[in-house]
């Protein structure tokens, strides 16, 4: 009788479990598939100044809602792979980043240096040596002061003087390097290309003919355009009375003292 009671109890429990399982509601989850369009993206990391080949970019399904203006889509430009083949990147791209037409420039439209120059500015190069360019630690996009050292006739003797003729100007390139690659911390090159206004370009050209040019690297804290360290332009007239100098008259003979703040 005990065994039969246990058997009946087990059978009843099994029936109860089976009933509950059969009544379980099966829910289906519907996945909302967003509408997508094909957008041109970088197939690899593209550096500033690289020539973009057809294999460097590809079409990628992109959510239509997230496709902002400026993206190159297959619906509007189906021939984009061949159209932009050979174009120069005027800004770096990460792999998978959408390509914007504004960041590419065709070879026929000019070089990459002309593409990254702001409107109204000029690029001018000056010869440098390691000992006159912060030991080679000046890199593209750093900001520097330009110092000219020259010999000046003062009375009956010659004096060597130095003047800061340009302040807080941006370095566009060192040699032919226009950006830091592979974590490079030292740039080697015999020329530095600076971003200058037309007046500053004239000042630098004059300074090159008057003496030796040195570049003084500015700190990041005061090297931003319009920073508190002073104006960008440094409007010094190499022939005028402006700058860190004082006129002296000694026995009727004019002379000039430098280094006065």
How does residue 214 score in pLDDT terms, banded at 50, 70 and 90? confident
Name the β-bridge partners of 17: none
Q: How far is CA 138 from CA 123, 131, 222, in A?
A: 17, 11, 16
How does residue 27 score in pLDDT terms, banded at 50, 70 and 90? low
- For 133, the domain range is 122-258
Domain boundary among 83, 115, 147: 115
Assess whether pLDDT exceeds 50 at residue 228: no
Residues 169 and 144: their CA atoms lie apart, in Å, by 6
Domain boundary among 100, 115, 130: 115
Please give the average per-residue pLDDT across 246-257, as a whole number.
Answer: 52
pLDDT of residue 110: 60
Please give the average per-residue pLDDT across 35-59, as a whole number.
Answer: 87
Cβ–Cβ contacts within 10 Å for residue 194, how many? 24
* Residue 26 placed within a domain: no
How does residue 158 score in pLDDT terms, banded at 50, 70 and 90? confident
Using DSSP's 3-state secondary structure scheme, residue 222 falls into coil
Burial 217-226 (b: 16+ CB within 10 A, else e): bbeeeebeee
Domain boundary among 70, 85, 115: 115
Residues 174 and 194: their CA atoms lie apart, in Å, by 9
pTM of the model: 0.55
Q: What are phi and psi of 248, to 5 degrees?
A: -125, 145
Residues in CB range of 130: below 8 A, 6 or more apart: 136
Question: What is 139-192 written as a DSSP string?
Answer: -TT-EEEEEEEEEEEETTEEEEEEEEEEEEEEEEEETTB-S--TT------SEE
Pair 211, 151: CB distance under 8 Å: yes
How does residue 153 score in pLDDT terms, banded at 50, 70 and 90? confident
**130 plus 227 within the same structural domain:** yes
Pair 171, 145: CB distance under 8 Å: no
**62 plus 99 within the same structural domain:** yes
**174 plus 250 within the same structural domain:** yes
Q: What are phi and psi of 20, to 5 degrees?
A: -65, -40
């Amino acid at each position: 009788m005990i065994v039969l009671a246990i058997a009946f109890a087990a059978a009843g429990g099994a029936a109860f479990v089976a009933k509950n399982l059969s009544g379980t509601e099966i829910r289906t989850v519907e996945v909302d598939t967003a509408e997508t369009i094909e957008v041109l993206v970088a197939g690899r990391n593209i550096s500033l100044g690289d020539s973009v080949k057809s294999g460097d970019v590809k079409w990628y399904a992109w959510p239509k809602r997230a496709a902002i203006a400026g993206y190159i889509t297959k619906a509007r430009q189906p021939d984009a792979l061949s159209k932009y083949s050979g174009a120069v990147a005027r800004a770096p791209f990460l792999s998978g980043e959408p390509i914007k037409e504004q960041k590419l420039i065709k070879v026929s439209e000019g070089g990459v240096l002309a593409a990254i120059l702001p409107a109204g500015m000029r690029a001018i190069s000056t010869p440098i040596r390691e000992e006159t360019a912060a030991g080679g630690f000046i890199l593209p996009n750093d900001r520097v002061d330009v110092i000219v050292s020259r010999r000046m006739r003062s009375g009956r003797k010659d004096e060597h003087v130095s003047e800061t003729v340009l302040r807080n100007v941006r370095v566009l390139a060192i040699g032919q390097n226009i950006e830091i690659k592979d974590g490079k911390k030292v740039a080697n090159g015999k020329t530095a290309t600076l971003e200058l206004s037309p007046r500053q370009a004239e000042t630098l050209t004059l300074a090159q003919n008057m003496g030796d040019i040195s570049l003084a690297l500015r700190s990041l804290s005061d090297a931003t355009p319009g920073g508190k360290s002073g104006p960008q332009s440094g409007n010094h007239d190499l022939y005028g009375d402006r700058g860190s100098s004082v006129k002296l008259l000694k026995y009727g003979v004019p002379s000039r003292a430098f280094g006065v703040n």
